[in-house]
Structure 1
């Protein structure tokens, strides 16, 4: 453990250590460490893992309800977004040395190369939650706010409610509000896009 193979040899990962509030130390991983884990077979290339402040978070398999909603949203958003806005479905987002996330959708200016995308460049992040609602509304909301994502939506696939987060601060979003499926929502920085969840098949 704690090593990775490169060009036929093993090399240390040199993970930093952090002391958490429970008094126990944690070995922290970098995004580069995840790449090496895939390279040597510790992780599968399609394994669903997120990295939050250096800690590995295994993600549950996506259920049918999540996938039906995601597929139909993908079709709707692709057809209805303004042409000056790009969107990436299920991107592997390398936000910082110790942060790697896989949101369902991110929206950003079409003139920004994806490889150079920073949190502040993003107009909207959408997560679809089925079994991960607490994580998406808690840990990930705090992380996105801290990083400066201006608007973050969490769509509760079971209850058909959209939790809208705005005005990021270092301690979380200052504005948080839940909207029923019948409400037409428009992101602050994507004025040409309106989403009414009740109109999306599968919801």
Structure 2
């Protein structure tokens, strides 16, 4: 049996500071440094469109980050979109922590299985309130809410209609706008 060495957040940051990972597109998941899939043009377009739409919806209420790290216990993933607390000065010297994250979104084309399994369990165990997976192929949004120890208690699939977030329940998010 092979035992892998697990890396801490501090180890990971030291490797980044030392330039060891400068030529790699990686993220830290459960103590393992994982190579990220290259981004395809459609993925970029949809991610950008969703981010712009959410910036309009949450202006003055939250910050929308695209493909930037968040710091969770033993992990530092780079979700496609993170909706986080303001003011942004909180993140001058660190990335957002679990308790500062309102919503994480992964846009999935080649990473659907990883996003629905590994990342879902990771985000739930970190206490992320809400997690959405945008399935490019089926044009659906899978919404996960109510995190527990290692999973979400609520799951709903949308292909049209309106989504209401837990933190901002008065703001209507139109599914059709997210899938443009």
CA–CA distance in structure 2, aligned partners of residues 192 and 123 of structure 1:
15
Aligned to 1:189: 167
Any unmatched runs of 5+ in structure 1?
1-22
CA distance in 2, matches of 1:38, 1:164: 32
Post-superposition offset of 1:105: 1.4
Structure 2 counterpart of 1:93? 70
Distance in 1, Cα, partners of 2:35 & 2:22: 12
Match of 1:109 among 64, 85, 93: 85
| Structure 1 stretches of 4+ moved >6 Å | none
Give 2:9's aligned residue: 31
1:75 equivalent to 2:46? Answer no
Task: State TM-score, norm by structure 1.
Answer: 0.78
How many residues are matched?
177
String of CA shifts for 1:26-73, please: whole Å, max 9, x gaps.
Answer: 11112333334344443225x321211111111110111101101111
Larger fraction in strand: 1
Whole-angstrom CA distance in 1 between matches of 2:52 and 2:61: 17
Structure 2: distance between partners of 1:148 and 1:99? 13
TM-score normalised by structure 2 residue count: 0.87
The answer for the alignment partner of 2:101 in structure 1 is 122
Give ranges in structure 2 of 5+ residues lacking alignment: none
Alpha-carbon distance in structure 1 between the residues aligned to 2:85 and 2:7: 30
Q: 1:171 to 1:38 in 2, by over 3 A?
A: closer
Deviation at 1:24, TM superposition (A): 2.4
Partner of residue 148 from structure 1, selected from 116, 123, 127:
127
d(CA) in 2 for partners of 1:65, 1:53: 28
**By how many angstroms is 1:116 displaced?**
7.0
Q: Which moved more, 1:85-94 or 1:68-77?
A: 85-94
SS at match of 1:117: coil
TM-fit CA distance, 1:102 = 0.1
What pairs up with 1:162-181 in 2 under 5 angstroms? 162-180=141-159
